[in-house]
Amino acid sequence: MTPVTTLPWYKQAPIRYNAAMKRDEQLYTLDEGEEILHQTQHHPIGIVPQVVGIGLVGLLGLVGLIASGPITSALALGIPQFVLALIILGIVGVAGLMTFISIKVYFKSYLIITNQTIIEINQFSLFNRDVSQLSLANVQEVTVQQSGLFARVFDYGSVTLETAGEKANFGFDKTPNPHYVSRVIYDGHERFIETHPEFTDSR
C-alpha cells in the first residue's frame, strides 16, 4: 500500500503525468498497482476575496475605533497607551489569524486522479473534512465550466463528473488548468475500460 501525499499548488507539475510528490501528509492509501495520474488543489486566486474581505473588516474596525473617539476618551481617563496598543494589536492579530485559517483550510482541499479512482477531499474547516471516491469505471461525462474574465485569464474553473446510475455527481471548483484535468480524467477512464473490459457492460 502506497500513501498519497500532497504538494502545495506552487510545487505541483500540472502539465505532466506522475508528478513526483513530497511526502508531507498522508491523505489516501493507494491499492496495489494504483498510480497517481494527477493531483491538484484549488487555484490560489480563489482565496483572494476572503483575504481581502477579512483585511477590510479589520481595517474598518480600526478606523471606526479611531474615528469614534474611544482612544481619545481612554487617554483622557488615564488608561495607559500600551493597553490601547494591545487592543489594536489584538484586532490586527484576530484578522491575521482568521486570514491564516482561511488560507490553511482553502489549500487543504484536493482532487487526486489515479489510474483507478478519483478522490475528492473537501476541507470545510480545520477539523471538518469530507473524502469521496469514485471509480473511473463510473465516469460518464466530464464537464468544464469557466465563468468570467478572471477564470479565462488565470485558467481555472469547475470540473464536474457525471456518474453512472444514481451516484451523486462529483465536482471540484476553482480547478487550475481545468481542461487539462478533464483530459486526464477522460484518458484515465478510457485506459481503465480498456484494461478492465468487465466494467463495460456494467456501466
pLDDT, tens digit, 9 for 90 and up, residues 80-137: 666 766 777 787 788 888 888 988 899 889 999 999 999 998 888 888 888 888 889 8
Q: Which of 122, 120, 130, 107 is nearest to 48 (CA)?
A: 107
Task: Judge whether 51 and 59 are in contact, CB under 8 Å.
Answer: no
Q: Which of 154, 152, 153, 161 is nearest to 184 (CA)?
A: 161
Q: Are strands 117-125 and 128-135 parallel, antiparallel or unpaired?
A: antiparallel
pLDDT, tens digit, 9 for 90 and up, residues 29-52: 777 888 888 989 999 988 888 888
Cα of first residue to Cα of last residue in the chain, in angstroms, is: 28
**According to the model, what pLDDT value does residue 8 have?**
41
Residue 83: all three cell numbers together: 493597553
**According to the model, what pLDDT value does residue 166 have?**
54
**According to the model, what pLDDT value does residue 93 have?**
83
pLDDT of 60 above 90: no
pTM of the entire structure? 0.72
- Please give the share of the chain, as a percent, with pLDDT higher than 70: 69
pLDDT of 16 above 50: no
**What are the residues facing 28 on neighbouring strands?**
4
Greatest mean pLDDT range, 3-12, 135-144, 194-203: 135-144
- Please give the share of the chain, as a percent, with pLDDT higher than 90: 18
- Return the CATH number of 2-42+111-196, one of 2.30.29, 1.10.600, 1.10.3470, 3.90.1570: 2.30.29
Q: Which of 177, 171, 181 is nearest to 154 (CA)?
A: 177
Residues 6 or more apart from 48 whose CB is under 8 A from it?
none
